[in-house]
Each structure stands twice: as C-alpha cells, then as structure tokens.
C-alpha cells in the first residue's frame, strides 16, 4: 500500500503548459521530495496527485489502480499545507478528529485515534487548547495530526515548514524524519529548500520549468549531477562553475591552467570542499583571497579568480590566510564535473 505512479502527466492552464510530461514511480513507504525554484510546478504537481487540480493529460495510479479521474476523497491521500488551515473555534482534539467525525466514525474510535496521533506528535498536553494558544510549530503538528488520524495511504506536504523560524524548522525537520520512520508511510514533500530536500528525502525530484531535471538519492544528485541546473541547485555553498575548452582528452580553463577532461566540455564544475589551497602556480588556477567567511567549523574563502570569476573554497576550521593573499588552487580530479554546450554532464575520462 502506498505506491504512486505518474505517467506522462501534463498540466495546461489554457494555452500555458506548466507541467510538461512527468513520468515518476514512487515506491511504497518512500520519502520523495519535489524541489526546485519558485514557479517550477512543485505545488501544481502535488495538487494533481492529491486530486485538487485536474490532470490535463496523462495518468495517475495509486496502488496499481488508475485514479486519474477520481476525486480527492477516493484517493486515500492526506495533504498538509504551509498555512495550517486549522479551525480557530475548535480545540486541538476537535481539529484533529474533525474528518473522522464528519465521516460518521464512533466517538470511541475518534478518541482513540486522536490520542494516538497526539502521543506520536507530543501534543497530549495541548488537546484542549485552541489553535491561537499554540506556537507555530505546535499548530503545524496539529495539522500533521489531522492527517495522521485519517490513516492515509500517503502523506502529501506542501512547504509545511516555510512559515516557521529557522530554529523551529530544524526541529520540525527532525520530527518529520522521525514520523516517517515510525509510520513507514509514503510521503511526498514539496520544498524550495535544498537543505530540507537533502536531509529528509530517500529520493529527490529536481523540477525545472515543469520538467524533471533529475531524480535520485541525495548522494546521487550531489556526487553525479546530470546537468548544470542540478549541479548549481544542490549544494551550499553552490558548486563553482568555470568556462573551459577541451580536446585531445585535456581541458584548459579560460584564464587558468588545466588537466585531464572529456572532449566537448565547455564548463567545469568543482565543489568548494574539493579545492585545496597552495602557493601561486600550483594546480589549476591562481587567485586572490577576497573575503574569508569564518563559520566556526569551516571557513569559506571567496577567491577572486580574475577571468575565472569568483571561486569559493571550503576549508575545515580556520586558515591563516588574509584578504589580498595570492593562492594557487588545485581541483581534486576525481571530483571535477564537466558539462557540454547543452549543459549536460559528460563522463570524466
């Protein structure tokens, strides 16, 4: 129970196509995250799965049954939104049990299910309160509790943490991970925050203008981005991208030196933690330290690479380097990424 399959799913608003043919199979119990910049179609895709938006073309199956034309109530899914959408005049317990009550469930069953959800979400002490007397994180937990009592086949979350402050987001992220562990249910979760995506997902779906840029585990996307879009979207600070040319199995950076690289490469990518610092003339390029951002556990050095542009280097702990120091930059060859003129990744030679 809990597999979801999209086949050639499209969404058109009049003449405008916002979802452009999505094929995706989600396994039972999987935690899948849709991530991408604002407006790329994440919410639209999630709402089509939930039945809140019509599917213009293509089909959707849940547990092997075609539900493309079924209303939300027949799909067995439950949605949690960014705005908690709680009833202000009802207690926490009544909010959580409301859907069971309208479905005509006996009071004993409602009480049992609400108590169990409250236990899982640590809301037992708040069952008699009104939503206005709760913190943002507690309200979000009530909204999640309302989904749990319905015992859905799968949970759909649309940016559930976006309204919370940074510290609470980290706490709720942990709680959602625990919830997935304990319930073992399929979860589809939309976010524009790549840290949430990396930390929570079994698999990430990166969306770009209504198409899938790449699907994979967080590690696959981080280590082997299929294209420039994913390379620059996943990872913080972002991957450094530089222009190059390549022939005869060797690449040359514009404004730098080179190494072994695939023919046809026009861009080289290297993550900040895969560059080591040395003396000018070392490695692939030289640059001047522009700013050193000390973060405690790491320092991010922003290097002015002249023609190469700005290059970020991550150093564990601190460094004795200061603004204006000249350095040589060595790129770990096993961690260089190459992209062709279409922005597609090329295999390292």
Q: What angle (nearest 5°) sits at the alpha carbon of residue 118, between those of residues 113 and 120? A: 100
The nearer residue to ligand ADP, 11 or 180, going by C-beta atoms, is 11
The partner in contact with residue 13, picked from Mg ion, ligand ADP, none with C-beta cut-offs of 5 to 8 angstroms by kind, is: ligand ADP
The nearer residue to Mg ion, 53 or 220, going by C-beta atoms, is 53
Return the closest-CA partner of residue 147 out of 81, 80, 196, 91: 80
* Chain residues that interact with Mg ion, rule: CB under 5 A: 43
The nearer residue to ligand ADP, 39 or 106, going by C-beta atoms, is 39
Q: Bridge partners of 207?
A: 212
Q: Could you tell me how many helices (H) and strands (E) the chain has, helices first? A: 8, 21
Least separation, in Å, of the C-beta of 30 and ligand ADP?
21
Burial bucket for residue 3 (CB in 10 Å: 0-12, 13-18, 19+): middle
Any alpha helices (H) in the chain, and if so which ranges?
A: 42-50, 92-102, 107-120, 136-148, 166-183, 194-200, 218-223, 228-233
Least separation, in Å, of the C-beta of 47 and ligand ADP?
8
**Residue 165: other Cβ atoms inside 10 A:** 10
Return the closest-CA partner of residue 142 out of 120, 123, 166: 123
The nearer residue to Mg ion, 160 or 305, going by C-beta atoms, is 160
* Chain residues that interact with ligand ADP, rule: CB under 6 A: 13, 18, 36, 38-44
* Closest residue to bound Mg ion by CB: 43
Least separation, in Å, of the C-beta of 9 and ligand ADP?
13
The partner in contact with residue 18, picked from Mg ion, ligand ADP, none with C-beta cut-offs of 5 to 8 angstroms by kind, is: ligand ADP
Least separation, in Å, of the C-beta of 39 and ligand ADP?
4
The partner in contact with residue 41, picked from Mg ion, ligand ADP, none with C-beta cut-offs of 5 to 8 angstroms by kind, is: ligand ADP
């Amino acid at each position: 129970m809990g597999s979801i399959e999209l086949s050639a799913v499209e969404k058109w608003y009049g003449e405008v196509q916002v979802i452009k043919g999505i094929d995706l199979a989600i396994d039972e119990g999987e935690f899948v995250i849709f991530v991408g910049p604002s407006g790329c179609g994440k919410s639209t895709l999630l709402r089509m799965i939930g039945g809140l938006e019509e599917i213009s073309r293509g089909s959707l199956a849940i547990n092997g049954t075609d539900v493309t034309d079924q209303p939300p109530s027949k799909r067995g899914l439950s949605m949690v939104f960014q705005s908690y959408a709680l009833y202000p005049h009802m207690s926490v317990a009544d909010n959580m049990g409301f859907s069971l009550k309208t479905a005509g469930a006996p009071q004993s069953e409602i009480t049992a299910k609400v108590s169990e959800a409250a236990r899982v979400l640590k809301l037992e002490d708040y069952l008699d309160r009104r939503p206005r007397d709760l913190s943002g994180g507690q309200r979000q937990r009530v909204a999640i509790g309302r989904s749990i009592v319905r015992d859905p086949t799968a949970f759909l979350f649309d940016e559930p943490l976006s309204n919370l402050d940074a510290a609470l987001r980290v706490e709720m992220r942990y709680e959602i991970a625990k919830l997935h562990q304990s319930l073992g249910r399929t979860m589809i979760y939309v976010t524009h925050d790549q840290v949430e995506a990396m930390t929570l997902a079994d698999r990430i779906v990166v969306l770009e203008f209504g198409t899938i840029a790449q699907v994979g585990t967080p590690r696959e996307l981080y280590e082997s981005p299929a294209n420039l879009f994913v390379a620059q979207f996943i990872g913080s600070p972002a991957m450094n991208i530089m222009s190059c040319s390549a022939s005869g199995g060797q690449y040359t950076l514009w404004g730098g030196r080179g190494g072994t690289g695939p023919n046809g490469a026009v861009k080289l990518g290297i993550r900040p933690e895969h560059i080591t610092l040395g003396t000018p003339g070392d490695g692939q390029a030289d640059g001047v330290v522009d700013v050193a951002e000390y973060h405690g556990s790491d320092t991010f050095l922003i290097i002015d690479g002249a023609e190469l542009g700005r290059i970020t280097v991550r150093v564990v702990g601190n460094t004795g380097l200061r603004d204006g120091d000249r350095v040589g930059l060595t790129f770990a060859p096993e961690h260089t990424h190459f992209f062709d003129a279409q922005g597609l990744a090329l295999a390292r030679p």
